[in-house]
Amino acid sequence: MKTIAIIPARGNSKRLPHKNIKLLGGIPLLVHSINFAKQHEFIDAVYVSTDDKQIKDIAIDHGAFVIDRPEHLAGDFEPTVTAIKHVLESIESAIENVILLQPTNPLRPKDLLRIAFQQFNDRNCDSLFTVSRNYHKFGKIKNDEFLPYNYNVGQRSQDLEPLFFENGLLYITKSKHIFENIIITKNAYPLIVNHPFASIDIDTQIDFDMAEFMLQKYKNE
């Protein structure tokens, strides 16, 4: 196999219990990412890494392979890269490229992955990740005083110097870097995504409710 998608979906969610199997638009949250991956012919296999039997059963029912994640890799403070690395270590085939799809980012523009994978190959970069532009006015508070960080007082938000945030929609990395515990390499290409889906990252019930709204609003796109 050359390119695989990996969806890390552990069972122990603190702020929104069982969120990875919570129904969004009538299907479990993680299935949105499984289905998204399966639509692309350049993905040779879809793997779900989990420590939860319910998640495992759902993933298998929807055509994904499952790698049982050991308890020591499923803690609250364990970085995502260790779960991805464990998947690579658990399968026999040699993998060239890894596409990371987080189940908490279930909504993605239809052509996003195809465009991203084309850019990844054309630019011959070691990794790619998606970003979106920030329009907020940030500052620091020191000694009870607010100190603007990315703007001058009175400046319009549309006139801010462009800053971008990592939106989590997808990541593509050559597998050799995963074995070095790296997802975003030094020469990573930041793919700009200007779509409302980029604002959806589910950690709380409010996030989930917003995802439901977005799903209905853009269901024909």
Can you name the residues that pair with 129 across neighbouring β-strands? 171, 190
Below-70 pLDDT ranges, the chain: 221
Q: What is the pLDDT of residue 15?
A: 84
Is residue 88 classed as helix, strand or coil in its secondary structure? helix
User: Within a 10 A sphere around the Cβ of 131, how many other Cβ atoms?
Assistant: 18
* pLDDT for 12: 79
Residues 6 or more apart in contact with residue 38 via CB below 8 angstroms: 46, 63
In terms of Cβ atoms closer than 10 Å to its own Cβ (0-12, 13-18, 19+), residue 41 is: exposed
Q: Note the pLDDT of residue 221.
A: 65
CA–CA distances in Å: residue 15 to residues 20, 76, 138 = 12, 11, 26
pLDDT score recorded for residue 43? 98
pLDDT in tens, 85-121: 999 999 999 999 999 999 999 999 999 999 999 999 9
The three-class DSSP label of residue 64 is coil
Q: Are 33 and 7 in contact (CB under 8 A)?
A: yes
pLDDT for 146: 94
Reference 3, options 160, 164, 114, 140; nearest CA is: 114
Q: Report the candidate in 2, 195, 212 with the shortest Cα–Cα distance to residue 97.
A: 2
In angstroms, the first-to-last Cα distance of the chain is 31
Per-residue pLDDT tens digits for 175-199: 999 999 999 999 999 999 999 999 9
Looking at the structure, give the CATH architecture of the domain made up of residues 3-130+166-217: Alpha-Beta Complex (3.90)
Q: Report the candidate in 86, 85, 127, 103 with the shortest Cα–Cα distance to residue 36.
A: 103
Confidence at residue 171, expressed as pLDDT on a 0 to 100 scale: 98
